Structure 1
Amino acid sequence: MQYPEHLAHFASLFKKRDIAHFMSAPWLVSSFREPVWRYNFGFKNDQNLDWRVHLCDGSLLTDPQHVKLLNSLQCWLIASTENAAGPGFTNSWAAQSASFRRTLTVIDHILQSAEALELVEHGLSALTYDVMCDIIEQIGTSSYVAVSTYDWNNRLTDYCKSLLQTTSPESIDKCLEEYPTLADITPLQLEENELEIPLELISRVRAALYINKMYHSNPNGGLNVNSIRVSALLYKDTLAGKKRLKPLHSILGFIWRRDRFIREFDGVPVTNGNPDRMTRRDLVLYRTAFTFLQKISALDFKLPSKEDLREIATFKVTGTAMGRFKNVPTPIIFKAIKDGIELHFEHGPQLLKSYLNIAKYSLKHMVNITGIPDETTISLLEPSIAELGVQYLGISTRSSGRDPGTELKESKEIYFSKLRGNAGLLELIGVYYGAIQLLVGATMAKRGSELRDLDPTNCLSEDKSWLIARIAKSSRGQKGRRARNARPIDPLAAEMVQTLIDFQKDLIEIGFIDQHLPLFSSPGIIGTSSLTSCDVYLYYKNIDLFCDYFEVERDSLGRRYYIRQHQLRRFFALVFLHCGYGASAGILQWMFGHTDPAHIWNYITEELPGKELRNTLSQALSERIATGGATHYTDVIDLIESKFGTRNVSVMDAEKLAEYFDFLMETDQMTMEPVFLESDTGLRVDILVVVRKQDEMG
Structure 2
Amino acid sequence: MQLPAELLFLKDVLQAPKLKYSKADWLLSDFQEPIWLYNFNYKKNKKLNWGVKLDDGSNLLSPQHADLLQGFKHWLIIATSAKRGTGSLTNAVKTQASAFNQVIRFIDYFLHNSSAYHLSKTGLAAITGDDLKLILDKIAANAITNESLFNWSENLSEYLIKLANSIDQSRLYDLLNDNPSLKIITPEQEDEGLLDIGLSDVPIVRAAIMHHGLYESRSRGLVPNSIVLSKEIYKNTVRLKSEAKHGFKILEVPREVSGQREFSMAPCSTREEKPEMSTTHFRYFKENLYSLGELHALDIPAPPVDSLIEIYNYQPSVNKLGRYRTLPSDLVFLAVRNAIEFHIEYGDEILDSYLSVARYCIQSGRTATRLEHETIVELVTPSLRELGVKRLGLTTRSPGTQPTDSRRLAQEEHFNALRSNQGLVELVAVYYGAVQTVVGALMARRQGELCDLIAGNCLDESKEWLLFQNRKSTSGVFGLRQTEARPIEPIAVEMIETIEKFQSKLINLGALEKHTNLFSVPPMSGEIRLSYSGQCTHHRNFDAFCDYFETPLNAEGQRYYIRQHQLRRFFSMLFFYSSSFGGLETLQWMLGHTDRKHVWHYITETTDGPVLRGAKAQYITEYLTHNGDDNYEELSCLIKAKFGTDDFHLVDSHELEDYIRSLLEDGEIEIEPEFFEDENGEQMRVIVKILDVE
TM-score range, shorter chain: 0.7 to 0.9
Residue 309 of structure 1 aligns to a residue whose secondary structure is: helix
- Once the two structures are superposed, what CA deviation does each residue of 1:162-208 show, in whole Å capped at 9, x if it has no partner? 44356676775565445422211123322323433343442232234
Contact 1:181–1:257 (Cα < 8 Å) also in 2: no
Residue 607 of structure 2 aligns to a residue whose secondary structure is: helix
The residue number in structure 2 matching 1:604 is 607
Distance 1:494-1:66 versus aligned 2 partners, 3 A rule: farther
Contact 2:394–2:409 (Cα < 8 Å) also in 1: no
CA RMSD of aligned residues (A): 4.5
Q: Percent identity?
A: 31
Deviation at 1:310, TM superposition (A): 1.6
Cα separation, 2, equivalents of 1:237 and 1:461: 57
Deviation at 1:428, TM superposition (A): 0.9
1:54 to 52, 61, 64: 52
Cα separation, 2, equivalents of 1:621 and 1:392: 47
Residue 254 of structure 2 aligns to a residue whose secondary structure is: coil
Contact 1:524–1:531 (Cα < 8 Å) also in 2: yes
Could you state the TM-score of these two structures normalised by the residue count of structure 1? 0.80
Distance 1:547-1:147 versus aligned 2 partners, 3 A rule: same
Contact 2:261–2:547 (Cα < 8 Å) also in 1: yes
- Once the two structures are superposed, what CA deviation does each residue of 1:236-270 show, in whole Å capped at 9, x if it has no partner? 433453355534322212222244x4322232122
Cα separation, 1, equivalents of 2:616 and 2:101: 33
Indicate yes or no: 2:487 matched with 1:487: no
The residue number in structure 1 matching 2:3 is none
Within 5 A, what are the aligned runs for 1:203-282?
Answer: 203-210=203-210, 212-216=212-216, 221-259=220-258, 261-273=259-271, 276=274, 278=276
The residue number in structure 2 matching 1:504 is 503
Residue 431 of structure 2 aligns to a residue whose secondary structure is: helix
Within 5 A, what are the aligned runs for 1:111-510?
Answer: 111-139=111-139, 144-164=144-164, 172=172, 175-210=175-210, 212-216=212-216, 221-259=220-258, 261-273=259-271, 276=274, 278=276, 286-294=285-293, 297-400=296-399, 408=408, 410=410, 412=412, 414-456=413-455, 458=457, 465-469=465-469, 471=471, 483-489=480-486, 490-491=488-489, 492-510=491-509
- Once the two structures are superposed, what CA deviation does each residue of 1:349-380 show, in whole Å capped at 9, x if it has no partner? 22111111111112222222233233332222
**Which has the higher mean CA deviation after the structures are superposed, 117-126 or 345-354?**
117-126
Distance 1:173-1:356 versus aligned 2 partners, 3 A rule: same
Residue 522 of structure 1 aligns to a residue whose secondary structure is: coil
Deviation at 1:302, TM superposition (A): 1.4
Distance 1:387-1:164 versus aligned 2 partners, 3 A rule: same
Indicate yes or no: 2:105 matched with 1:105: yes
Distance 1:311-1:32 versus aligned 2 partners, 3 A rule: farther
Contact 1:358–1:380 (Cα < 8 Å) also in 2: yes
Contact 1:29–1:38 (Cα < 8 Å) also in 2: yes
Distance 1:335-1:358 versus aligned 2 partners, 3 A rule: same
- Once the two structures are superposed, what CA deviation does each residue of 1:533-576 show, in whole Å capped at 9, x if it has no partner? 44443332221110011121222333210012232235466557
Distance 1:553-1:98 versus aligned 2 partners, 3 A rule: farther
The residue number in structure 1 matching 2:567 is 568
Deviation at 1:71, TM superposition (A): 4.4
Distance 1:217-1:482 versus aligned 2 partners, 3 A rule: farther
Cα separation, 2, equivalents of 1:596 and 1:44: 53
Cα separation, 2, equivalents of 1:568 and 1:105: 38
Residue 642 of structure 2 aligns to a residue whose secondary structure is: helix
Contact 1:277–1:323 (Cα < 8 Å) also in 2: no
Cα separation, 2, equivalents of 1:195 and 1:306: 39
Cα separation, 1, equivalents of 2:172 and 2:515: 37
Cα separation, 2, equivalents of 1:162 and 1:531: 41
Contact 1:471–1:482 (Cα < 8 Å) also in 2: no
Cα separation, 1, equivalents of 2:452 and 2:111: 39
Q: Partner letter of residue 128 of structure 1? A: T
Deviation at 1:522, TM superposition (A): 2.1
The residue number in structure 2 matching 1:8 is none
Contact 2:473–2:481 (Cα < 8 Å) also in 1: no
Q: Partner letter of residue 297 of structure 2? A: A
Residue 524 of structure 2 aligns to a residue whose secondary structure is: coil
Distance 1:535-1:183 versus aligned 2 partners, 3 A rule: farther
Cα separation, 1, equivalents of 2:377 and 2:201: 43
Residue 523 of structure 1 aligns to a residue whose secondary structure is: coil
Q: Partner letter of residue 147 of structure 2? A: V
Residue 50 of structure 1 aligns to a residue whose secondary structure is: strand
Deviation at 1:430, TM superposition (A): 0.9
Distance 1:403-1:232 versus aligned 2 partners, 3 A rule: closer
Contact 2:433–2:544 (Cα < 8 Å) also in 1: yes
Indicate yes or no: 2:531 matched with 1:528: no
Cα separation, 2, equivalents of 1:21 and 1:632: 71
Cα separation, 2, equivalents of 1:15 and 1:617: 62
- Structure 2's unaligned 5+ residue stretches are 1-9
Report the number of matched residues: 669
- Structure 1's unaligned 5+ residue stretches are 1-10
Residue 126 of structure 1 aligns to a residue whose secondary structure is: coil
Deviation at 1:395, TM superposition (A): 3.3
Residue 562 of structure 2 aligns to a residue whose secondary structure is: coil
Cα separation, 1, equivalents of 2:474 and 2:215: 26
Distance 1:145-1:619 versus aligned 2 partners, 3 A rule: farther
Cα separation, 1, equivalents of 2:118 and 2:85: 33
Deviation at 1:60, TM superposition (A): 5.4
Cα separation, 1, equivalents of 2:93 and 2:334: 48
Residue 253 of structure 2 aligns to a residue whose secondary structure is: coil
Deviation at 1:68, TM superposition (A): 4.3
Cα separation, 2, equivalents of 1:593 and 1:292: 58
Cα separation, 2, equivalents of 1:506 and 1:324: 42
Q: Partner letter of residue 300 of structure 1? A: D
Distance 1:628-1:69 versus aligned 2 partners, 3 A rule: same
Distance 1:589-1:153 versus aligned 2 partners, 3 A rule: farther
Contact 2:663–2:669 (Cα < 8 Å) also in 1: no
Contact 1:222–1:254 (Cα < 8 Å) also in 2: yes
Cα separation, 1, equivalents of 2:44 and 2:476: 15
- Once the two structures are superposed, what CA deviation does each residue of 1:308-330 show, in whole Å capped at 9, x if it has no partner? 22222344522134422221122
Cα separation, 2, equivalents of 1:613 and 1:244: 40
Deviation at 1:99, TM superposition (A): 5.6
- Once the two structures are superposed, what CA deviation does each residue of 1:649-671 show, in whole Å capped at 9, x if it has no partner? 477543221233456678x5x55
- Once the two structures are superposed, what CA deviation does each residue of 1:339-358 show, in whole Å capped at 9, x if it has no partner? 21222222212211111111
Contact 2:21–2:74 (Cα < 8 Å) also in 1: yes
- Once the two structures are superposed, what CA deviation does each residue of 1:46-85 show, in whole Å capped at 9, x if it has no partner? 7746252504055655667655434433454455566587
- Once the two structures are superposed, what CA deviation does each residue of 1:4-48 show, in whole Å capped at 9, x if it has no partner? xxxxxxx99x9999356656778x4756837435354xx875774
Contact 1:276–1:322 (Cα < 8 Å) also in 2: yes
The residue number in structure 2 matching 1:6 is none
Residue 298 of structure 1 aligns to a residue whose secondary structure is: helix
Cα separation, 1, equivalents of 2:75 and 2:671: 43
Deviation at 1:234, TM superposition (A): 2.3
Could you state the TM-score of these two structures normalised by the residue count of structure 2? 0.80
Cα separation, 2, equivalents of 1:440 and 1:17: 66
